Amino acid sequence: GNSVTQMEGPVTLSEEAFLTINCTYTATGYPSLFWYVQYPGEGLQLLLKATKADDKGSNKGFEATYRKETTSFHLEKGSVQVSDSAVYFCARGDGGSQGNLIFGKGTKLSVKP
């Protein structure tokens, strides 16, 4: 089964609002954690990552901190823009040597002007 759980979407926000998308995981050990973004009609792009506990990944104003105590990797942005409208996927490494990923179901974000 899927061991990455994201908050259900869609999420609709006004421009400049604060964004949080929750992500929790189950795993043995401490897997690498990722957020990917998929803009309409495109493939997924890596947004940010964290490879060990307490690491903070950041990119394009987005941040997420690897919290081993709560097995979470919540995505945040202080002020969203219309151009941030996309589907966001949380993922973790599967723990194997091949580096396969296990994805959450995705959260669609729509930002209104």
Partner 1 sequence: NAGVTQTPKFQVLKTGQSMTLQCAQDMNHEYMSWYRQDPGMGLRLIHYSVGAGITDQGEVPNGYNVSRSTTEDFPLRLLSAAPSQTSVYFCASRIYNEQFFGPGTRLTVL
Q: Which residues bind partner 1 (CB under 8 A)?
A: 2, 4, 32, 36, 41-46, 49, 51, 89, 93, 98-101, 103-106
- Measured in whole angstroms, the distance separating CA 97 from the mean position of its chain's CA atoms is 22
Q: Which among 26, 35, 37 has a CA at the least distance from the CA of 91?
A: 35
Q: Considering the complex, what minimum distance in angstroms separates the CB of residue 79 from partner 1?
A: 27
Which residue's CB is nearer to partner 1, number 41 or number 113? 41
Counting other chains too, the contacts that 94-97 makes at CB distance below 8 Å and 24 or more residues apart are 94/31, 95/27, 95/28, 95/29, 95/31
Q: Considering the complex, what minimum distance in angstroms separates the CB of residue 14 from partner 1?
A: 26
Q: Considering the complex, what minimum distance in angstroms separates the CB of residue 19 from partner 1?
A: 20
